[in-house]
Amino acid sequence: MDKINKDAQEEHTSKYRELILSQQTLLLSTVTELGEPECSYAPYVRDQHGVFYIYVSELAAHTKNMLQKASASVFFIRPEKEVNNLFARERVVFKCEVYEVQSSDERYDKQLLKMKHKFGETVDLLRSLPDFHLLALTPLNGKYIAGFGQAFLIDVISDRVELK
């Protein structure tokens, strides 16, 4: 890869990561057992491997969908007030495999502690409720759209955009 492309790759990788870090919640897209789409959101934390963790109630439709189908898409988009053109908002989407993290798993307490540091005492209240599940959403593939004509695949292994 030449220097110009390497610099562009670094710039787009940095921008896509910044967009994700600027958000405290992720938008969720799931599918019901009847194949109907559901949209929702959840606060999240992310580990060093790029896995998103959400702590969600089984009373919510999106939780039931993810527990049944083990898949979801997550979406991040630049807020409307921060863009000049609403048709070209910067965004990131990942298709994810969903895995329920059991309380006996070492990631369970670690990720919930990260959530508590990020979101406060509400996490302790939610932990006392029996219907909450910690779900790990592992990206399988992703796309970063920087604007008109600027769509890039994300290499989820290296956590970098790919320039073609």
Domain range summary for the chain, segments of one domain joined by +? 3-162
Q: What is the mean pLDDT of residues 93-121?
A: 96
Residue 129 has pLDDT above 90, yes or no: no
Residue 7 has pLDDT above 90, yes or no: no
Q: What is the mean pLDDT of residues 137-151?
A: 95
What does the DSSP 8-state code read for residue 90?
-
Residue 103 has pLDDT above 90, yes or no: yes
Residue 12: per-residue pLDDT: 92
Residue 147: per-residue pLDDT: 92
Residue 163: per-residue pLDDT: 78
Residue 2 has pLDDT above 90, yes or no: no
Say how far apart CA 62 and CA 56 lie, in whole Å: 9
The pair of structure tokens assigned to 125 is 């209240």
The pair of structure tokens assigned to 37 is 């789409």
| pTM (two decimals) | 0.93
Residue 6: per-residue pLDDT: 83
25's enclosing H/E stretch is: strand 25-31
Residue 128: per-residue pLDDT: 86
Interior angle at CA 130, CA 98 and CA 38, nearest 5 = 40
pLDDT above 70 covers a percentage of the chain that reads: 97
> 3-162 has which fold?
Pnp Oxidase; Chain A (2.30.110)
The pair of structure tokens assigned to 13 is 């990788």
Contact (Cβ atoms closer than 8 angstroms) between residue 126 and residue 132: yes
162's enclosing H/E stretch is: strand 160-162
Q: Establish how many alpha carbons lie within 13 A of residue 10's alpha carbon, considering only the half-sphere containing its beta carbon.
A: 7
pLDDT tens by residue, 11-56: 999 999 999 999 999 999 999 999 999 999 999 999 999 999 999 9
